[in-house]
C-alpha cells in the first residue's frame, strides 16, 4: 500500500523538484488565494447597496465578458515576449486595480462604479495567467510529469477556492470588504516577484524558415520529396522530442515545417486554423463552453442563495465556494496520478455528466449542507476534465503556438459564463429556482453524447484521430482532448 502511494506521488515529486516550476507554481497559488477573496469581497460590496441583488448579474458579466477581448490579445503577447515578463506585468496591473478599492475607501468612499471597473480589469487580464502558466509547463516539466503539473495547477485553484472565500467571509465581518481587496493586491505583488525570479527564459522558439534569407548559404536539410523547398527534417537543435512511448495521453509532438499554403504565419509558426480542423479539439471545446454556461449561472446563483434563501450571509457563500473548491482539490489530485485510460474522450464525457448532476442540489434549499454537497460534486468531477484535457492540448499544440493556442481555447471557454449569468438573473429575480436548476443541468450535461461519440474513434495509442489534411501531411496522433471547465 505504501509503495502504491509513493508511486502515485512520484510524478508530483518530480515536477516540484524543478526549481523554476516550483517557484512559478507557488507564486501563482498565492495569487489565486487572493483572487478567491476578491470575488466574495466585490460581491458583498455590491450586495450591501440598495438594489444590490439585481446588480449581481452585471458584476458577473463584468468579471467574465472582458475575458474574450483580453484572450484575443493574450495569446500573441505570450508567444512574442518572455512569459515571465508578461506574467509580471499582468500582476502589477491587476494588483493596482485591486488596491484602488481600499485606497478609495480610505480617501472617503468607494465610488459606485468602481467594483464593476475592478471586475472588468480582472476579467480583461485574466487570460494571461490562465494561458501563460500552462503554456510554460512544457518548458519546465518533463513530458511524463505533465499530468502531475497540470493537476498541481488545478490543486492551486482548488486550495485557493477553499482558503480565499473562507478567509474573505471571516474578514468581511471584521475589517470590511474594502480592506479584503488589499490582500489580493499583495498576492499579485508576490506573483510578479516569483515570475521574475524564474531563471529559465520562457520565450518561444522561433519557427524554422522554409528558405534561407537572400545572400546566405542554405544550411537546412535536403528538400522533402513531397514538398520541394521544404526540408525533410528539422536540424537537431530545433527538433521536438518524440512523445513518451508508454504515455497513453501523449501524441507525437514533432512536426515538420509547412509551406505557406498549409498555414505558416510570421515568425512564430503555423496559423491557428488547424485547431478548428481538429475534430477532438472542436467537440470538446464546445462541450466545455456549454459547461461553463452552467457555471456562469452558478456564479450568480451562489451569492443569491446565500443572501436570500440560506442563513449565514457571507459566511455561507464562503462555505458553498469552499465546498466547490474542496471537490476540485480531491478530483484534481486523483486525476493527476491516474490516467484517463485508452478512451480519454469517453472518460471526460463521463465525469462531465456526473459533474452536471451536482447542479440539481440547489433545489435542496434551505438545507445549506445539502446545497454545499452539490457544489462538492460539481468540483469533484469537473477537475478531472481540466487535468486530462489540458495534458492532451499540450500534446496536440506545437510548441511555438502554445501561447496563442491555449489563449484561444481558454478564451472561447471563458467567454460563455456571461451567457449563463444573463440567463439565470431573470429566473432568480422572479423566484424560479427550479427552472434555473433544470436549465443548468441540461446545458451542462447536453454535450456528453457528442463527447462520447467523438471519443468512439479516438483511442490512446492509435492513429484513428487524423485531421482532414491530405495523406502526405497527416500527423500521427495517439489521443485527443481539450480544455477545462473553470469557474
**pLDDT tens digits, one per residue of 409-429:** 888 887 788 889 889 989 998
Per the model's pLDDT, the better-predicted residue between 120 and 472 turns out to be: 120
Q: Is 301 helix (H, G, I), strand (E, B) or coil?
A: helix
DSSP bridge pairs for 270: 264
Torsion of CA 343, 349, 353, 358, to 10 degrees: 90
297 CB-side CA count, 13 A: 28
- How far apart are the C-alpha atoms of 150 and 140, rounded to whole Å? 12
For 374-400, what is the HEC assignment?
HHHHHHHHHHHHHHHHHHHHHHHCCHH
Decide: 156 and 319 in contact? Cβ < 8 Å.
Answer: no
Q: How much is the pLDDT for 249?
A: 40
- Residue 464's pLDDT band (boundaries 50, 70, 90)? very low
pTM comes to 0.62
Decide: 254 and 236 in contact? Cβ < 8 Å.
Answer: no
299 CB-side CA count, 13 A: 31
DSSP bridge pairs for 231: 223
Decide: 393 and 349 in contact? Cβ < 8 Å.
Answer: no
Q: Give the helix ranges, DSSP H, for 416-471.
A: 417-429, 433-445, 448-455
Nearest Cα residue to 168 out of 318, 376, 320: 318
Per the model's pLDDT, the better-predicted residue between 233 and 306 turns out to be: 306
Listed range (5-19, 205-219, 360-374) with the worst mean pLDDT:
205-219
Q: Which residues does 70 contact at the CB level (< 8 Å), separation at least 6?
A: 123, 124, 125, 126, 127, 128, 411
- How far apart are the C-alpha atoms of 384 and 363, rounded to whole Å? 25
11 alpha-carbon distance from chain centroid: 21
DSSP bridge pairs for 366: none
Q: How much is the pLDDT for 207?
A: 46
- Residue 373's pLDDT band (boundaries 50, 70, 90)? very high
Packing angle, helices 127-140 and 83-106, rounded to 10: 150
Tell me the per-residue pLDDT of 89-127, one tens digit each, with 9 for 90 and over: 999 999 999 999 999 989 988 888 899 999 999 989 988
DSSP 311: S
- Residue 2's pLDDT band (boundaries 50, 70, 90)? low
Cell of 192: 510578479
Nearest Cα residue to 403 out of 21, 145, 81, 92: 81
Listed range (161-170, 265-274, 396-405) with the worst mean pLDDT:
265-274
Cell of 67: 475575458
Tell me the per-residue pLDDT of 47-67, one tens digit each, with 9 for 90 and over: 877 777 678 778 888 887 788
Q: How much is the pLDDT for 485?
A: 47
Q: Which residues does 136 contact at the CB level (< 8 Å), separation at least 6?
A: 24, 83, 202
Rounded mean pLDDT of the chain? 77
Residue 465 in this model has a pLDDT that exceeds 80: no
- How far apart are the C-alpha atoms of 89 and 332, rounded to whole Å? 29
- How far apart are the C-alpha atoms of 345 and 273, rounded to whole Å? 22
DSSP 251: -
Cell of 443: 446545458
- Residue 1's pLDDT band (boundaries 50, 70, 90)? low
- Residue 83's pLDDT band (boundaries 50, 70, 90)? very high
Tell me the per-residue pLDDT of 139-196, one tens digit each, with 9 for 90 and over: 898 888 887 888 888 888 878 877 888 888 888 888 888 888 999 999 999 999 999 9
DSSP 250: -
Q: How much is the pLDDT for 205?
A: 55
Amino acid at each position: 500500500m505504501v509503495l502504491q502511494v509513493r508511486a502515485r506521488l512520484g510524478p508530483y515529486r518530480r515536477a516540484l523538484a524543478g526549481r523554476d516550476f516550483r517557484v512559478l507554481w507557488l507564486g501563482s497559488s498565492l495569487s489565486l488565494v487572493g483572487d478567491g477573496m476578491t470575488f466574495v469581497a466585490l460581491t458583498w460590496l455590491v450586495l450591501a447597496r440598495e438594489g444590490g441583488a439585481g446588480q449581481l448579474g452585471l458584476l458577473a458579466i463584468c468579471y467574465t465578458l472582458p475575458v474574450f477581448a483580453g484572450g484575443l490579445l493574450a495569446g500573441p503577447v505570450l508567444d512574442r515576449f518572455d512569459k515571465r515578463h508578461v506574467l509580471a506585468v499582468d500582476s502589477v496591473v491587476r494588483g493596482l486595480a485591486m488596491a484602488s478599492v481600499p485606497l478609495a475607501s480610505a480617501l472617503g468612499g468607494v465610488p459606485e462604479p468602481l467594483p464593476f471597473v475592478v471586475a472588468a480589469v480582472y476579467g480583461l487580464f485574466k487570460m494571461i495567467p490562465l494561458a501563460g502558466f500552462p503554456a510554460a509547463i512544457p518548458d519546465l516539466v518533463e513530458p511524463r510529469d505533465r499530468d502531475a503539473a497540470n493537476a498541481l495547477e488545478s490543486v492551486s485553484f482548488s486550495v485557493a477556492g477553499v482558503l480565499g472565500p473562507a478567509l474573505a467571509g471571516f474578514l468581511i465581518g471584521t475589517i470590511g470588504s474594502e480592506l479584503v481587496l488589499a490582500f489580493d493586491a499583495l498576492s499579485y505583488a508576490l506573483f510578479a516577484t516569483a515570475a521574475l525570479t524564474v531563471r529559465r527564459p520562457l520565450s518561444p522558439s522561433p519557427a524554422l524558415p522554409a528558405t534561407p534569407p537572400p545572400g546566405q548559404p542554405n544550411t537546412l536539410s535536403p528538400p522533402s520529396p513531397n514538398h520541394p523547398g521544404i526540408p525533410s527534417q528539422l536540424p537537431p537543435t530545433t527538433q521536438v522530442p518524440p512523445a513518451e512511448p508508454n504515455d497513453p495521453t501523449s501524441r507525437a509532438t514533432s512536426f515538420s515545417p509547412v509551406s505557406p499554403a498549409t498555414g505558416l504565419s510570421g515568425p512564430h509558426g503555423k496559423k491557428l486554423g488547424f485547431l478548428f480542423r481538429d475534430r477532438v479539439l472542436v467537440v470538446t471545446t464546445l462541450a466545455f463552453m456549454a459547461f461553463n454556461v452552467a457555471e456562469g449561472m452558478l456564479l450568480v446563483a451562489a451569492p443569491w442563495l446565500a443572501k436570500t434563501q440560506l442563513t449565514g450571509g457571507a459566511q455561507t457563500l464562503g462555505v458553498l465556494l469552499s465546498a466547490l473548491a474542496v471537490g476540485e482539490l480531491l478530483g484534481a489530485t486523483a486525476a493527476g496520478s491516474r490516467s484517463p485510460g485508452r478512451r480519454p474522450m469517453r472518460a471526460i464525457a463521463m465525469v462531465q455528466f456526473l459533474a452536471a448532476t451536482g447542479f440539481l442540489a440547489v433545489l435542496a434549499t434551505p438545507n445549506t449542507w445539502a446545497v454545499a454537497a452539490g457544489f462538492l460534486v460539481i468540483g469533484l468531477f469537473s477537475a478531472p476534465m481540466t487535468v486530462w484535457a489540458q495534458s492532451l492540448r499540450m500534446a496536440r499544440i506545437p510548441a511555438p503556438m502554445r501561447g496563442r493556442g491555449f489563449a484561444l481555447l481558454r478564451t472561447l471557454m471563458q467567454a460563455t459564463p456571461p451567457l449563463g449569468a444573463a440567463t439565470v438573473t431573470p429566473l432568480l429575480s422572479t423566484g424560479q429556482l427550479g427552472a434555473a436548476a433544470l436549465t443548468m443541468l441540461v446545458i451542462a450535461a447536453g454535450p456528453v453524447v457528442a463527447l462520447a461519440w467523438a471519443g468512439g474513434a479516438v483511442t490512446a495509442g492509435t492513429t484513428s484521430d487524423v485531421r482532414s489534411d491530405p495523406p502526405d501531411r497527416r500527423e500521427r496522433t495517439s489521443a485527443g482532448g481539450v480544455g477545462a471547465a473553470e469557474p
